[in-house]
Amino acid sequence: MKDLLLNFLQGVARRASAGLGRESWPVRVARPLYESSLNFFAQDGGVPWEVNGETYRIDSRYRHMFGPDYEAAVARFLQHRVRPGDVIFDVGANVGVYVLQLARWTSGDCRIVAFEPNPAARVVLERHLAMNALSDRVLVVPSAVSDQSGAEILWSSGEDGMARLGRPNALLREGIEGHKVSVTTLDDFVASTRTDPRWILMDIEGFEVSALRGARGLIDRLKGKLDLVVELHPRLWDGVGTPRAEFEKLLSELRLNIEPITGQEDPLAEYGHVLLS
């Protein structure tokens, strides 16, 4: 009954937004009452929400972070390739958009390690895992991933996915705070936990080169048994001290092939997702 009511409310809201415009005066006026109604009826169980054709339960306040076609090309790519029993590292898990999907696609045999250093995002991630009865299948690691283990300042704005180490992301405009967070390398994590991944999914706002440097050992050791799906941010690389030439050198040293997933003509110059294998 509760889900019927929540679906009814969301259906009415979608029709109103489509007919009147999402930012029209009536929709903006009604939005606080709508949000309060969803939160009241959902309580701790979350609201049913569809992402890439599957329904999950999420905190209603973060619906804007779970688009109905969220990175659909990348989702299709992974859905057709991950298998039950695969160990998957999600580096930069944020509030769990991919964690929830990966757990659904790989059934109860999957093992997912979600790295998320942002404390605000991690609270929401853990809430989403509980809402979807996945807490026992996902290990949440409260660490950033780079090329050296230790501690650094993470600059973030609430749960926003554009948090960055070292200096604030220029795209974050307000509410920016610095948090001292632990940092690990993937090599150190694998050595300490004896957990070899089959897949690594990575989205860390320009620090992907540093994270790959810190995974040299496992990439070399797992040749032919490890694939990496990485969101590349080439425009950010110079600002974090890893220009394109550094990435090209690293790919050559690790003998990694690069294949664009999201249609880039030059994946080392254009934003998008790639497969490294």
Looking at the chain, the domain(s) classified CATH 3.40.50.150 span 72-276
Inform me whether the pLDDT recorded for 45 exceeds 80.
no
What's the pTM value of the predicted model, to 2 decimals?
A: 0.89
Q: Does the domain spanning 72-276 belong to CATH 3.40.50.150?
A: yes
pLDDT in tens, 210-237: 999 999 999 999 988 999 999 999 998 8
| pLDDT value, residue 228 | 98
Higher pLDDT, 145 or 33: 145
Higher pLDDT, 45 or 102: 102
pLDDT in tens, 151-191: 999 888 888 877 778 777 767 777 888 889 999 999 999 99
DSSP state of 67: -
| pLDDT value, residue 122 | 97
Mean of per-residue pLDDT scores for the chain: 88
Using DSSP, state whether 234 is helix, strand or coil.
helix
Contact, 225 vs 232, CB < 8 A?
no
For residue 169, give both structure tokens: 């992301």
What is the C-alpha to C-alpha distance for residues 109 and 86, in angstroms, rounded to an integer?
Answer: 8
pLDDT in tens, 244-272: 999 999 999 999 999 999 999 999 999 99
